[in-house]
Amino acid sequence: MDFIDALHTSSSGLSAQRLRMNLISANLANISTTRTRQGGPYRRKEPVFAAQSPQTSFKKILASQHADHSPHVKVVRIIEDQSPPIMKYDPNHPDADQNGYVAMPNINLMEEMVNLISATRSYEANITAVKAAKEMALKALEIGR
């Protein structure tokens, strides 16, 4: 892996974790949203990541030297949590049913905060990898002097 491949891999990780943090922020912002365009309460969203599959044959490896096939993270899709909503008794709420229950999003604040810390740590790790690659490239240039 050369300098550009390392940067490409780390930048794809940075983009993936940024998207993950944006989704977590949306989940936290909508923790009390009981009405959406699709109807019903907000559904928690989560990204699904996948790594690029490695090259298997020599021919593919040789061909990949002329194209950008460095390993990277990509977001395959964003899924919505299909768990049932939490039913909360609040007869004065405008979205309450005939029994006085309101369907609230099934979002656990603690779980979202742990996911946010994990995404932040992954983001920081990718930044560290970018800085290390940059420092190695600078040291290599100094050797050439």
Give the mean pLDDT of 132-142. 88
Which pTM was predicted? 0.80
The pLDDT tens digits for 33-65 are 999 998 889 999 999 998 865 555 566 656 655
The closest of 127, 116, 141 to 19, measured between CA atoms, is 116
Q: Domain extents for the chain?
A: 3-31+45-80+107-143
The closest of 44, 23, 20, 21 to 32, measured between CA atoms, is 44
